[in-house]
Amino acid sequence: MSASSSNLSSALIAYQRIEHSFDSAFGAGLNPWRHLGALGFLFFWIVALTGLYLYVVLDTSVDGVYRSINWLSREQWYLGGVLRSLHRYAADAFLLVTLLHLLREFLLGRYTGFRHFSWLTGVPLLWFIYISGVVGVWLRWDQLAQFSAATTAEWLDWLPVFATPLIRNYLSANAVSDRLFSLFAFVHIGVPLLLIFGLWFHIQRISRAEVFPPTALSAGSLLALLALSLALPVTSQAPADLSLVPGLLPLDWFYLFWQPLMFATSAGVVWALVIGGSLLLFVLPVLPHAAAAPIAEVHPDNCNGCRRCFEDCPYAAIVMVPHPSGIAGRQLAQVIPDLCASCGICAGACPSSTPFRSTAELVTGIDMPQMPIGALRQDVERGLAQLEGRNGIVVFGCDQGASLSRLVGEDLARFSLICTGMLPPSFVEYALRGGAAGVLVTGCREGGCAFRLGNRWTEERLAGLREPHLRARPSRKALRIAWADRGEEAELADVVEDMRQALAAERLQNTEPIADATADTIVSPARTTAHG
């Protein structure tokens, strides 16, 4: 392992510790680290809506621009002042979660292959956010705005493209006209409009994109910003005076951090960082990386066109086309190679993936060449044969979550899928009927599925809320779901041990793992997690 990849692994472990530490306070499903993109959308809309009010009162004349914004904080603090503070703090939060979103996806290696489109369309959004935010500071036209506008002009003038240096717009009061602030307002509103288009492109290749966080997280975020706005209302500095050097200024370190950096170094250094950083982000997807896994393949003879794979694919990589059989109305799934994540969630959604089919060779409608459902059935049968008596536990996990290789015991049969969402729920019943005392389903932590929707679809299928559903009605002790990320093998082992003891107690009562083998009524399985 090279030094750089070792450093990346260390960074990823450190990041995951931080992310996991939030689970105890927020719960896995509401952990803000797993909703950074959606939080970005939320903050953007808060900025947009509060900005509407600010624009109504904004006077874009030289004399009026400072007065109109300052009036909000001084005279109408209860409405305009709060909205102004919300506007500013939501803008800071928007930038912060966007940067964290980028960092998280980078550490998780989510920028290559089928994800390259989302990555590449996300990078320019950073530019839009910065341009819009920095110009927003200038609309205050106080001393901070004066400093920032002049510094930005000096920075832009470093490029030999302007016939007349932009800094001449800020040399003296005579140089500043009403039109300047109309231009600022135009940019401050126009760039976010471009940002909306950019965001739309950014989520084009994922289905069911989470564009709003869960309600509780949204409400909590809004309340936190509101509390911050009331506790620390945003105010203007002294009005801009171009005949004087601005005094000591409280900087906005989210948007303006690079301006003191320019004075500490040079405009060229900041340009080098900006261009170099942008280029690095753009070329990341094309740098050498692991070869892409084989994509899903459709077997027309076993595809009845039910559309479940189409519905469940997290990346909109499946389209429905007329079936080659020519039967009127019958459809066939077709995989779009560039979009396929090779996650296998489609195979888990296929009703033909049931192991109860009597064919000697199980071929399903849509399958993963590297891990066919037929081979999984054979593996499960072999694993069940090796379990002693009816004490065994079958564990279905995934290659992205906690490693199953760390689970030991002759009473265990372990099967690591590409994604837990690849598990057809009928395999749970198949294992229990085949002699297992219990089945443990695991995978990435709730909300943290490497393929976005794997654990959500799995939970819903096992709970009977989504097709294909689990027909059998296992006892709560016979089926457990325990979400655990890579590195949490010890916690998963604790769940297995707890399950052993629970099943042992159940055996004393001579209870069957499947309460009613033929029942159609489905109840929710035990929704335990590896974290209690």
Partner 1 sequence: MPADQALIKLSFSHEGKLVSACRQRSAEELAKLAPNMRAPMDCPRGRSPVTVEIDLDGTPVYRHVAKPSGLSEDGASTVYHRFPVQSGEHRLAIRLNDDARNAGFNYRREETVNLKPGKVLVIDFNQETGGITLQ
| Residues within the interface to partner 1 (CB under 8 A) | 154, 157, 163-165, 167-168, 171-172, 174, 242-245, 247
Q: How far is the CB of 139 from partner 1 (least distance, A)?
A: 22
Dihedral, CA atoms, 146, 152, 156, 158, nearest 10 degrees?
90
In three-state form (DSSP H/G/I as H, E/B as E, the rest C), the secondary structure along 191-224 is HHHHHHHHHHHHCCCCCCCCCCCCHHHHHHHHHH
SS3 321: strand
Nearer to partner 1, 242 or 515 (CB): 242
- The distance of closest approach from Cβ of residue 63 to partner 1 in the complex, given in angstroms and rounded to an integer, is 20
Element (H, E) at 177: none
Nearer to partner 1, 105 or 157 (CB): 157
Smallest distance, Å, CB 172 to partner 1?
6
At closest approach, how far in Å is the CB of 257 from partner 1? 19
Q: State the nearest-atom distance from the C-beta of 162 to partner 1, in Å.
A: 8
User: Which whole-number Å values give the CA distances from 60 to 17, 133, 186, 241, 425, in the listed order?
Assistant: 48, 17, 11, 17, 62
**And the tokens for 276?**
């170099």
Name the nearest CA neighbour of 30 among 463, 446, 452.
Answer: 446
* Of 77 and 158, CB closest to partner 1: 158
Nearer to partner 1, 172 or 518 (CB): 172
Tell the smallest beta-carbon distance from residue 65 to partner 1 (Å): 20
Q: Quick check: 31 and 19 in contact, CB under 8 A?
A: yes
CB atoms within 10 A of CB 518: 8
Tell me if 365 sits within 8 A of 352, measured CB to CB: yes
- Output the smallest distance, CB 272 to partner 1, in A: 20
In the bound state with partner 1, the residue whose beta carbon lies nearer, of 44 and 170, is: 170
Query: Long-range contacts made by residues 214-220, C-beta under 8 angstroms, separation at least 24?
Result: 214/29, 214/30, 214/35, 216/30, 217/26, 217/30, 217/32, 217/35, 217/39, 218/42
Identity of the residue, 168 or 382, whose beta carbon is nearer to partner 1 in the bound complex:
168
For residues 160 and 329, which CB has a smaller minimum distance to partner 1 in the complex?
160
Rounded Cα distance between 196 and 384, Å, is 53
Rounded CA gap, 171 and 160, in Å?
19
